Amino acid sequence: MPDISLTTLVFLCVAAAAAGWIDAVVGGGGLLLLPALLLGMPQVPAAQILGTNKAVAIVGTTGAAVTYVRKAPVQVGTAVRIGLAALAGSMGGAFFAAGISSEVLRPVIMVVLLGVAAFVLLRPSFGTRADRGPVTRARIATAIVLVGGGIGFYDGLFGPGTGTFLVLALTAVLHLDLVAASATAKIVNVCTNAGALAMFAYQGTVLWKLAALMAVFNLAGGMFGARMALRKGAEFVRGVLLVVVFSLVAKLAFDQWSG
């Protein structure tokens, strides 16, 4: 583990708990966790930041997925098929991630966030209710290729916003409401995290001791967030999504321009 102060360690643990909560509610906990790691450990190479981020995130995501499966109407078989495609995609993305420098991460995350915000604002009714029509084979095939393979590759390569993209894509392709999409996304996201983490571990770019400590807080936040999303419904999820997106855009913009 790198030499970091107690203040920084506390900051990273709090960020891990908050990221777990956000990720469980609407996805995108990495949009908080990854910038926190970059801010707290600027001396650490980007590949180690990305690997440690995955080791932390998979624990909270798994806890949230278990909570959702117990209480939400999730088509586990469909989620697993999408997840397997996402696992393969994430391993491919992680293979190329070793060449990513810290300097390019922040602006990429900002662009991603602004795209998410624009989409949600332009579609105010998006995901507030499910389409009760049948989930056809064509929709499932599209979800496997585009949602699983495409977003999985992105998750391995960069990572931030993967959960949010999964929620939005699953809502659009499979016509789920935001709560059901969040539940399905958690299962898929466990697979993408597993694939990427396997590659990062193989490359030796995971700070395991730090990740283990942060993962405890991430798990607590993830399980609490999943329970809250199930209780409060789709409108609550949408509101959290917008608050998170705009807060992070402001923070990252400040960091980018002040630096």
Q: Residue 214 pLDDT > 90, yes or no?
A: yes
Of 35, 10, 31, 9, the residue nearest 22 (C-alpha): 31
Scanning 101-233, the segments in alpha helix (DSSP H) are: 102-122, 137-142, 151-157, 162-174, 178-203, 208-232
Q: Give the confidence band of 30 by pLDDT, cuts at 50, 70, 90.
A: confident
Q: Which residue has the tokens 């989930």?
A: 135
Q: How far is residue 152's CA from residue 195's CA, in Å, rounded to a whole number?
A: 9
Q: How far is residue 72's CA from residue 60's CA, in Å, rounded to a whole number?
A: 18
Which has more pLDDT, 28 or 49? 49
Domain boundaries defined on the chain: 6-258
Q: How far is residue 24's CA from residue 189's CA, in Å, rounded to a whole number?
A: 11
Cα angle 79, 193, 220; round to 5: 90
Q: Residue 195 pLDDT > 90, yes or no?
A: no
Report the pLDDT averaged over residues 226-240. 79
- Look at 33-42, 177-186, 211-220, 228-237 and tell me which has the smallest mean pLDDT: 228-237
Cα dihedral across residues 97, 21, 140, 165: positive or negative: negative
| pLDDT tens readout for residues 89-98 | 888 888 887 6
| pLDDT tens readout for residues 52-78 | 999 999 999 899 888 888 877 778 888
Q: What is the pLDDT of residue 134?
A: 62
Q: What is the pLDDT of residue 104?
A: 67
Q: How far is residue 244's CA from residue 259's CA, in Å, rounded to a whole number?
A: 22
Of 115, 104, 78, 86, the residue nearest 241 (C-alpha): 115
